[in-house]
Chain A
Amino acid sequence: MGVVISRLTRALDNALMPLAALGLVLMLGHVALEVVLRLLGVVSQLQTITFVSAFYMVAVVFAALPYAEGREGHISVDIFTSMLPEPVQRAMSRVFSAVSALCLGYMAWLSLLQAWEKTERGEIWETSTGYFLVWPGRWAVFLAFTALALHYLLRAIRPQDAPQQSLEGDA
């Protein structure tokens, strides 16, 4: 069971992370091109804001989330739990991982329903130049929450697979 989940999460991480990187590179290129064109006095039809919002940002965040959680762990403060006996700490960690897996699994289910509904309806945004298809981004949310739920489930089953928690934050 643990081996199957481990393989599945790794496969999802490895499949999604290149998408996130592609989203970041495309976002950089798209925004830079828009600025250059504007500085040259060219009125662009690049729809940068829409592309960035509907696709690139969604890819950058959701496609990278499982990798970030799987490799880096989350920021946490162990000053209080470190006073507890080791077995209690381990048991708490497993219970919290299981609860987290449940929460994220529920989010995955809701985002699946949402993605399905938006796809069937062909969700679009109205822009100044026409209509813009946005439903594909909804599936990234579902994949991210599914992979995250699997990560936490794996941690509940096999706590030794949990990543080292880092004190280095991002802000």
Chain B
Amino acid sequence: MDGLWIGAIGFAMVLVLVALQFPVGIALGLVGAVGIYWQIGYRPMVGILEETPFEFTASWSLSAIPLFLLMGSVIQRSGLATKIYEAARLWMGTMPGGLAVATNAAAAGFAAMSGSSMATAAAMAKLSVPEMLRAGYDKRLAAGCVASAGTLGALIPPSILMILYGIFAEVSIAKMLVAGILPGLLTLAVYVAMIMIRAMRDPSLAPGLAIRPAMRERLASLIPIWPLPVIFFGVLGGIYGGIVTATEAAALGVLLSLLAAALAGGMSWDLIKGSLVETLTSTARIFFVAIGAIIFTKFLALTGISTTLGRTFADFGDNYILLVLAASILFLILGMFLDPLGVMLISLPIILPVFDAVGADLIWLGVIVVKYIEIGLLTPPVGLNVYVVKSALNGEVALGDIFRGVMWFLVCEAIVMVLLIGFPEISLFLPDRVGF
């Protein structure tokens, strides 16, 4: 049978198994192992299965993941997210759609210390939605805004998805992390503009706060959030300047976040234990899926599907539009079955060689891939961020309302995608200037 067909069948089998609720990591590994056996026999399959888990895990580059997760977990438990939101609310609350704008700004701030999109959405949902609802905000806008703001977590560094992409695409992790900054800020700006325009056109959607906080109160709100710029610029400055690697920056970030928690009086045994357990379980789950994905990737490489597709699409030359459209369809389909990590790991063996063949910049591609995956967190039927927000709000806002609220943000995402695809410089300006 043609390698292309074997690869396609393997791909379809994974999707069917996952749709039937088979664990993603095992589905990828099982189909990969059977495929390898079919292609090259039993002994080579055993060799791959014996070596892959240890060899993949015993990695210096990947050690940035648990350390960044630990940093985010410590920050989340130290109560800094609450203080960031409070400061954003006091400074922006009186603007049109002020609380929703403040939510987005706070989510961007929280994202700068947490590598997870869903962690950002969950943290912001509990903080801001009840207050927006009390202030008379439209519940669709309130919940949709939080679900969408969470996606900033995967763009603004540190981002776990960016690190994983860097590993799989074999591009600089430091450059990948830096590449997310401008697209993240662009997304934030488009979201804010949309909220303000809608609030000005229809003030009943987001009534402005009646009382303007005193300047003294606003300035005072900035004091407790000093760790935000210190950690962000400490971590990113080190990477950007070429002083430290991503892993070293993550370790320094953990120490800074522990120091911030201690100085804020939030240090406790519960914080340390809870952060360690959360980090370890998250890391283990990420690696379990990733190990399965590596085995599956080795199977796909044997089928030659990536090379065949790469050769086919190489003829398209600089015509990215068709490729981007094809990629959109692929991500749309995968997003219906898989979580963000699964989508990224299963799609990269197909996407990377194709875009590489047409000479696309792989750092730019990384931003586009992460953006697609984040959009998948908002779109039905899965839309994990939407479910996270619903769960964080204990069902206070119906699922359908959150999905409807997210629609406006999806329009914004379409605008941002057009800009990112049309102007790769937005993604590449900062990475091109990284200090090594």
Contact = CB atoms under 8 A, between A and B. Distances in A.
A138 B54 contact: yes
B389 to A, nearest CB: 11
Interface of A is mostly: helix
Interface stretch (B205-213, B262-270, B283-291, B419-427): B283-291
Contacts of A11: none
Interface string A42-63: 0000000100111011101110
Interface residues of A, number: 60
Given A35-B248, A103-B29, A137-B54, A171 B161 contact: yes
A76 B283 contact: no
A25 to B, nearest CB: 8
Given A52-B63, A64-B283, A168-B391, A69 B247 contact: no
B309 interface: no
Given A28-B254, A103-B26, A138-B54, A170 B286 contact: yes
B401 interface: no
A169 interface: yes
Classify chain B: how many residues form its interface, as a range. 35 or more
Contacts of A167: 384, 387-388, 391
A9 interface: no
Interface string A67-103: 1110110111111110000000000110010011001
B20 interface: yes
Contact of B283 (A60, A79, A137): A60
DSSP majority for the B interface? helix
Interface in B36-59: 46, 49-51, 53-54, 57-59
B58 A81 contact: no
A68 B337 CA distance: 22
Contacts, number: 197
B22 A96 contact: yes
A17 B283 CA distance: 13
Interface in A90-132: 92-93, 96, 99-100, 103-104, 106-107, 110-111, 113-114
B66 interface: yes
Interface in B252-290: 252, 254-255, 276-277, 279-288
Interface of A: 17, 20-21, 24-25, 27-28, 31-32, 34-35, 39, 49, 52-54, 56-58, 60-62, 64-65, 67-69, 71-72, 74-81, 92-93, 96, 99-100, 103-104, 106-107, 110-111, 113-114, 134, 137-138, 141, 145, 167-171
